[in-house]
Chains A and B, each alone.
Chain A
Amino acid sequence: MGVITLAMLGSLAVLAVAGAVVWGQQADRPDPSAVLRGPTAGHPLGTDRLGRDLLARLLAATWPSLLPAVAATLLGAAAGITLGALTAVVGGRAARLLGALINLLLAFPALLVAMFFAALFGAGAGGAVFALAVACAPGFARITQTLAAQVAGTDFMAAARVLGLRRHRLLLRHVLPHIAEPLMLNTAVAAGSALVALSGLSFLGLGVQPPSYDWGLMLSQGLDRIYTEPLPAVAPGIAIVYATVAFQLLGEMLAGAAVRQARPRPEEEPVAHAARADRPASTDHVLEVEDLRVVLPTADGVVRPVRGVTLTLRRGELVGLVGESGSGKSLAALAVADLLPDDARVTWTTHRFLGADAESLTREQRRRQLATGMALIFQNPASAFNPSLRLGRQMTEAVRAHRGTPRAEAVEQALAQLQRVGLPAGRRLLRSRPFQLSGGQRQRVAIAAASMMRPDLIIADEPTTALDVTVQRQIMDLLRRVRREDATAILFISHDIALVADACDRVLVMYGGTIVENLPARELAAGARHPYTRMLVASVPDLAADRDPPPLTIEGGPPDPCGTAPGCPFHDRCPHRLDRCAVDSPVLSPLRPEHEVACWRPLPAAPLGGARETEEVEK
C-alpha cells in the first residue's frame, strides 16, 4: 500500500509542478472554431465555452487546486495546534478559558463557518483559503488539547515546570514532540477534506473566480451540460477524488508507521512436552513444575525472561519467590497459571497441578481445574476489580459459575470470608464498588474473594508492594491465616526479602530467569550459600542493625533478557566465579535436605553469629 500511496502522491506532485508549464499555454488558448465540443481525438475531454482544451485545463489546474487546500490545512493546523497546546502550559484559569473558547468554536459547523468567512473575506482563492483555515482550526485545537493534557500530567512536565522553564520552551521541547505523530496523521487526512471543501466553495462560486480556475470551478462549469456531455463534469470530479484518496492514504501510512513496531516472531523451538509418566504424582504436592521456560516477542527483540524454573509446592506451604525486577518471577507465576498472552511461548517438561499433568487434560478441563483450584492476588488492588461492578457480584461470580451455588448461599459464604479478613460490615461492603474502599481494604477483599473457592493454591504477586507497612503486616497475617485454616499452598512473590524471610516457610531466590537457591526462610539471613543470595541479604538495610557500615551494593547490572549466552546468569557479577561458570550453567541441586543451590562453588555455611559477619567475609 505504501508503494501505491507514494506513486499517487508522486504523480500529483509532478502534475502540480509541471502541469502549468507544459499545458498552461494550451489551456489558455481559446479556439472559437471549437467551442463546447464533446470528446474528440484532438480534445480527449472536449472543450469549454471558449474552445479551450479541457484535458489541458484539468492538468494545469492541479497546482491551483492543491496549493490552496494544503495552505488552508497548514494554516488551520498551525492556529489550532497552537491554541490547543497552549492549554497545557498556561495557568489554571487561562487554560479553562482557552478550553471554553475551543468548545465554543467547535459548536459551529465547519462548512457553514467556511462559507460565512469566504463571503466575508470576498470571493477569491485567498479568501477561500483563510475561510477554510478558520473553519478547520477548532478541530485541531480540540484534538491537540486532549493530547497535550496527557503530556501535561506527566512527571517530566512537572519536573520541567519545577525547573522554571519558560512556556515556549515547555511547548516546543516537551509538549509538541510527544503529540507530533497523531497530529501529522490528522493533518494529512484534513488536507484531503480541505480539497473537497475548497472545490465545494469554488463550485458554489465563493472560491476561485474566472479567469482563474481550479477543479471545483471546472466541475461547476461542466455541470451545465452534464446530460449531453458527462465527461467535462466527471473528469474534474475524478481528479478531486484521486487527490483526496492520496491524502487519506498518506494519513493511513503515517498512522501505520507510528503504530507498527517490529514484532519479531520467536523462532520455533522444539517443544519439550514429553509427559514424564515415570514419576508417580504425589498427593502431597499441589504444584510441580519442571524446567519451565517462557519466550516473549517484544519490540526490542525476543526475550527469554524465564529460563528453566523448577518448583514444587506442598499442601499448606507458604513459599516466597524473591528476585529483583526483571528476574522473571512474575512471568513464571503467570505461566504456571496459564495467563500469559497468546504470543508467548511457554514450555516445560513437567507441569502437574493437583496431581494431574497439564498434557493429560483437555483445554476445557484444564481451564476448569485452574479456575477452581488456583486463585491469584495481584499487586495493584485498584485494578484487580472491575470498577463498575459491585463487589458482591465480583466475589460470588466464581462459586456461582463453577459450583452452581445459589445466590443467597454464595452471599453467605462471601460474608463469612469478609468476616475472616476483618471486614465485619459485610453486607454494606458487598453493595459497594471498588473505588469506595481504601487500598488495604481492597486487598483484603481480594484475599476474601480468592479464598471463596477454597483453592488449593493461591499465587500472590507482590500483594503488599503498593501498601503501607502497617497494612502490609495485616495482609501478611491474613495470608498466613488462610494458609493455616484452609491448608492452601501460597506462592508469595515479592522483591522484599525481609518480608519474605519474616512470613514464609521456604524461599526461592530467582535471578536471570532461573531459581538460584531454595532454602528454608529462617536460614535466609545467615545460611544462604549462593553468592547472589548472600549479596542480596547484605544489601538489605536494617533498622535493628548499626548504621555503619552502609548496606552493600551489587555492582553491575542484571543479565540481558535477550541474550543466549551459556553459563551461570550471575557469573559476571560474582566475586567467587570459576572459569567454568561462564560456560556451564549450574543446575539446582540439593546441598542437604530442604536446601538446594544452583552454583558450582557454593559459599561455605556461615559461622554462627549472623549475616553481619558473612558480609565481612564478602569484603
Chain B
Amino acid sequence: MSGGGGLTLYEVTVRHQGPFGPITAVDGVSLEVPRGTTVGLVGESGSGKSTLARAIVGLDPPCSGRIAVGGREYGGRREADRRRLGQQVQLVFQDPDTALDPRMTVRQSIAEAAGAFVRLDRRGREQRVGELLELVGLDAGCAGRLPRQLSGGQRQRVAVARAVAVGPAVLIADEVTSALDVSVRAALLAMLRDLQRRMGFAMLFISHDLAAVRQVADAVAVMYLGRIVEAASTESLLRGPRHPYTRTLLSAVPSLHAGRRPAEEPLLAGEVPDPASPPTGCRFHPRCPVGPARHAGRDVCAVRDPQRDAAGKPHRAACHFPYRADDRPPQARRVPPDDDGDRTPRTPGDLPS
C-alpha cells in the first residue's frame, strides 16, 4: 500500500442492525488520504459519512475491508488494540457542546489526552497543555475554565487540541464547523490547515458544507447511499463535476454573491431510497437527471454498478454517462443578480443529454 503515513481505506463495508434487518451504511469504500493532505468527504445525511468516520476510529468496527494507517492495519477489539489505534487516529466531533466532559476544565481535558500514551510529570503536563492551547489559538487563560464558560468556537478549538494532543497520524474532523456561527467558521478552518502544516497529519474532513470543504481540502470525495460516487482534486471536482449527483449537490448550495437562482427549478426527482433496500446497479439511477428515468436506452444504469470502471482514475466518477469536464459548471446557470428569481422563467435544455 502506498499510504506513506496516511490513511488508506480499501473496500470498507459497515453494516448496522436496523429494525428490519441489516443496513449497509458504508458499502465498499476505497479512499486514500496521503500524509499532510486533506480529503473532504461530502454527502447528505444518511450517506454513511459519519459511520465511516466511526469505523475508522474503531467505534463501529467494519464488517469487511481494510483500514490502514501508514501501511499498517489496526484491527482487534481488545483494550490494547484500541490504544494502538488511538495513538494513530483521532476524531473531532460535530457538536463541541457535548464532545467535552462538562465537569472537566480545559486543562484537565487536554492533559488527560496528552498523558494517554506518555507519562508526564506535573511540569511536563502543564507545559504540554500550554503548547497545545497555543497551537489551536487559545490563550493560556482558558485553561482553568469549564466548557460552558467558553464560546462554541473556543470549545471546538479545545476539542481539536485534545484530539491532536496524542500526535496522531490521521485526524478525522466530523462536521466540525456545522454547529458554529459563520463568523467563526473561517477562523477554525484556517487553524486546522495551519495545524496540519505544522504537525503533518493526514486529515479526513467530513462535511455537508461544500464551501468549507473547498477551503481546507486538497481532494474531495462525494458519498451517496454508502458509496463514493465521485472523487477528484478539489478544484477539478468543484469546477467540473462529472457525476450528476455532485452537480445537483453543487447547484443546491445557495450563494450570496452569484445572484438569485430561478425559483422552483426541479432539483431531484423522488425521495432518498431506503438504505435497507438500495436500488440495483447505480444507486442514483431512479433520481438521476441523465439516467434511465429521463433518457431511453440507458437501462445499463439499473443493472450494472459503475463503481468498478471508475476505480483508479485521477478524477473518478462512478457514472456510465458522466458529464465532460468542459460542460458548463452549475454556477453558470444562475440568473443575473438584479433579476427577481421568482419571475424568471426556467430555461429548458440546461442539461446536456
Residues of A within 8 A of B (CB): 91, 154-156, 158-167, 169, 173-174, 177-178, 324-325, 438-441, 467-474, 477, 480-481, 484, 495-499, 501-503, 522, 524-525, 535-537, 539-545, 547, 550-554, 557-558, 610-612
Tell me, yes or no, whether B222 is within 8 Å of chain A by CB: no
Q: How far is the CB of B43 from chain A (nearest CB, A)?
A: 9
Tell me, yes or no, whether B212 is within 8 Å of chain A by CB: yes
Q: 22 A-B pairs, CB-CB below 8 angstroms? A: A159-B159, A161-B59, A163-B116, A163-B166, A164-B82, A324-B183, A325-B181, A469-B210, A473-B267, A477-B264, A495-B182, A498-B256, A501-B256, A502-B341, A503-B254, A539-B186, A540-B182, A541-B186, A544-B255, A547-B214, A553-B187, A611-B256
Task: Please determine whether B255 and A497 come into contact, CB atoms closer than 8 angstroms.
Answer: no
Q: Which of A159, A468, A503 has the most CB of B within 10 A?
A: A159
Task: Please determine whether A542 and B258 come into contact, CB atoms closer than 8 angstroms.
Answer: yes
Q: How far is the CB of B117 from chain A (nearest CB, A)?
A: 7
Task: Please determine whether A553 and B257 come into contact, CB atoms closer than 8 angstroms.
Answer: no
Tell me, yes or no, whether B48 is within 8 Å of chain A by CB: no
Give the residues in chain A near B58, CB-CB below 8 Å: 161-162
Q: How far is the CA of A551 from the CA of B257 in the complex (A)?
A: 13
Q: How far is the CA of A441 from the CA of B274 in the complex (A)?
A: 13
Give the residues in chain A near B63, CB-CB below 8 Å: none
Task: Please determine whether A468 and B238 come into contact, CB atoms closer than 8 angstroms.
Answer: no
Tell me, yes or no, whether B146 is within 8 Å of chain A by CB: no
Q: How far is the CB of A547 from chain B (nearest CB, A)?
A: 6
Q: How far is the CB of A322 from chain B (nearest CB, A)?
A: 10
Q: How far is the CA of A55 from the CA of B77 in the complex (A)?
A: 63
Give the residues in chain B near A470, CB-CB below 8 Å: 44, 248-249, 252, 267-268
Task: Please determine whether A541 and B271 come into contact, CB atoms closer than 8 angstroms.
Answer: no
Give the residues in chain B near A154, CB-CB below 8 Å: 98
Q: How far is the CA of A167 from the CA of B78 in the complex (A)?
A: 11
Enumerate B146-196 residues with CB–CB distance to A below 8 Å. Answer: 151-152, 159, 162-163, 166, 181-187, 189-190
Task: Please determine whether A166 and B264 come into contact, CB atoms closer than 8 angstroms.
Answer: no
Which residue of A is nearest B56, CB measured? Answer: A162
Task: Please determine whether A164 and B87 come into contact, CB atoms closer than 8 angstroms.
Answer: yes
Task: Please determine whether A536 and B182 come into contact, CB atoms closer than 8 angstroms.
Answer: yes
Please provide the 9 A-B residue pairs with the shortest distance between their CB atoms, ordered closest to farther. Answer: A164-B86, A164-B83, A541-B211, A468-B44, A553-B187, A551-B186, A324-B181, A502-B254, A544-B258
Which residue of A is nearest B87, CB measured? Answer: A164
Which residue of A is nearest B238, CB measured? Answer: A543
Q: How far is the CA of A535 from the CA of B85 in the complex (A)?
A: 42
Pick the residue among B116, B166, B210, B257 that contacts A610 (CB under 8 A).
B257
Task: Please determine whether B208 and A469 come into contact, CB atoms closer than 8 angstroms.
Answer: yes
Q: How far is the CA of A475 from the CA of B126 in the complex (A)?
A: 50
Give the residues in chain B near A539, CB-CB below 8 Å: 182-183, 185-186
Which residue of A is nearest B82, CB measured? Answer: A164
Task: Please determine whether B214 and A541 come into contact, CB atoms closer than 8 angstroms.
Answer: yes
Tell me, yes or no, whether B57 is within 8 Å of chain A by CB: yes
Residues of B within 8 A of A (CB): 44-45, 57-59, 77, 79, 82-87, 89-91, 93, 95, 98-104, 112-113, 116-117, 151-152, 159, 162-163, 166, 181-187, 189-190, 208, 210-212, 214-215, 238, 248-250, 252-258, 260-261, 263-264, 267-268, 271-272, 331, 337-338, 340-342
Q: How far is the CA of A289 from the CA of B211 in the complex (A)?
A: 36
Q: How far is the CA of A161 from the CA of B187 in the complex (A)?
A: 28
Give the residues in chain A near B86, CB-CB below 8 Å: 162-164
Q: How far is the CA of A524 from the CA of B256 in the complex (A)?
A: 8
Pick the residue among B45, B152, B183, B340 that contacts A468 (CB under 8 A).
B45
Please report the number of residue pairs spanning A and B whose Cβ atoms sit closer than 8 angstroms: 189
Task: Please determine whether A156 and B254 come into contact, CB atoms closer than 8 angstroms.
Answer: no
Q: How far is the CA of A541 from the CA of B248 in the complex (A)?
A: 19
Give the residues in chain B near A550, CB-CB below 8 Å: 186, 189-190, 215
Which residue of A is nearest B58, CB measured? Answer: A162
Which residue of B is nearest A555, CB measured? Answer: B187
Which residue of B is nearest A481, CB measured? Answer: B264
Give the residues in chain A near B340, CB-CB below 8 Å: 522
Task: Please determine whether A522 and B337 come into contact, CB atoms closer than 8 angstroms.
Answer: yes
Task: Please determine whether B254 and A498 come into contact, CB atoms closer than 8 angstroms.
Answer: yes
Q: How far is the CB of A150 from chain B (nearest CB, A)?
A: 12
Q: How far is the CB of B351 from chain A (nearest CB, A)?
A: 16
Known: A164-B87, A551-B185. 12 other contacts (CB 8 A): A161-B59, A162-B59, A162-B86, A163-B116, A438-B271, A470-B252, A498-B256, A502-B254, A522-B338, A539-B186, A551-B186, A552-B183
Task: Please determine whether A484 and B342 come into contact, CB atoms closer than 8 angstroms.
Answer: yes
Task: Please determine whether A325 and B152 come into contact, CB atoms closer than 8 angstroms.
Answer: yes
Give the residues in chain B near A535, CB-CB below 8 Å: 183
Q: Which of A166, A501, A524 has the most CB of B within 10 A?
A: A501
Task: Please determine whether A159 and B91 come into contact, CB atoms closer than 8 angstroms.
Answer: yes
Give the residues in chain B near A543, CB-CB below 8 Å: 210-211, 214, 238, 250, 253, 255, 331
Give the residues in chain A near B151, CB-CB below 8 Å: 557-558
Q: Contacts A155-B95, A156-B101 given: A553-B183 contact, CB under 8 Å?
A: yes
Q: How far is the CA of A554 from the CA of B181 in the complex (A)?
A: 10
Task: Please determine whether A542 and B44 come into contact, CB atoms closer than 8 angstroms.
Answer: no
Pick the residue among B101, B184, B272 that contacts A553 (CB under 8 A).
B184
Q: How far is the CA of A612 from the CA of B256 in the complex (A)?
A: 11
Q: How far is the CA of A552 from the CA of B185 in the complex (A)?
A: 9
Pick the residue among B45, B83, B214 that contacts A439 (CB under 8 A).
B45
Give the residues in chain A near B190, CB-CB below 8 Å: 550, 553
Q: How far is the CA of A503 from the CA of B166 in the complex (A)?
A: 45
Task: Please determine whether A495 and B238 come into contact, CB atoms closer than 8 angstroms.
Answer: no
Which residue of A is nearest B184, CB measured? Answer: A553
Task: Please determine whether A477 and B183 come into contact, CB atoms closer than 8 angstroms.
Answer: no
Pick the residue among A161, A469, A522 that contacts B82 (CB under 8 A).
A161
Give the residues in chain A near B183, CB-CB below 8 Å: 324, 535-536, 539, 552-554
Q: How far is the CB of B299 from chain A (nearest CB, A)?
A: 25
Q: How far is the CA of A412 from the CA of B181 in the complex (A)?
A: 42
Q: How far is the CA of A97 from the CA of B67 in the complex (A)?
A: 30
Give the residues in chain B near A439, CB-CB below 8 Å: 45
Give the residues in chain A near B208, CB-CB below 8 Å: 468-469
Task: Please determine whether A164 and B59 come into contact, CB atoms closer than 8 angstroms.
Answer: no
Pick the residue among B87, B210, B212, B257 that contacts A545 (CB under 8 A).
B257
Q: How far is the CB of A569 from chain B (nearest CB, A)?
A: 14
Q: How far is the CA of A302 from the CA of B173 in the complex (A)?
A: 36
Task: Please determine whether A156 and B117 come into contact, CB atoms closer than 8 angstroms.
Answer: no
Q: How far is the CB of A85 from chain B (nearest CB, A)?
A: 16
Q: How far is the CA of A22 from the CA of B266 in the complex (A)?
A: 91
Give the residues in chain B near A160, CB-CB below 8 Å: 101, 112
Give the residues in chain B near A557, CB-CB below 8 Å: 151
Q: How far is the CA of A356 from the CA of B212 in the complex (A)?
A: 46
Give the residues in chain A near B212, CB-CB below 8 Å: 541
Give the residues in chain B near A497, CB-CB below 8 Å: 182, 256
Task: Please determine whether B117 and A164 come into contact, CB atoms closer than 8 angstroms.
Answer: yes
Pick the residue among A164, A502, A544 that contacts B116 (CB under 8 A).
A164
Which residue of B is nearest A549, CB measured? Answer: B186
Q: How far is the CA of A541 from the CA of B184 in the complex (A)?
A: 11
Which residue of B is nearest A322, CB measured? Answer: B182
Q: Contacts A158-B59, A501-B256, A543-B211 given: A525-B337 contact, CB under 8 Å?
A: yes
Q: How far is the CA of A472 from the CA of B210 in the complex (A)?
A: 14
Give the residues in chain B near A167, CB-CB below 8 Å: 79
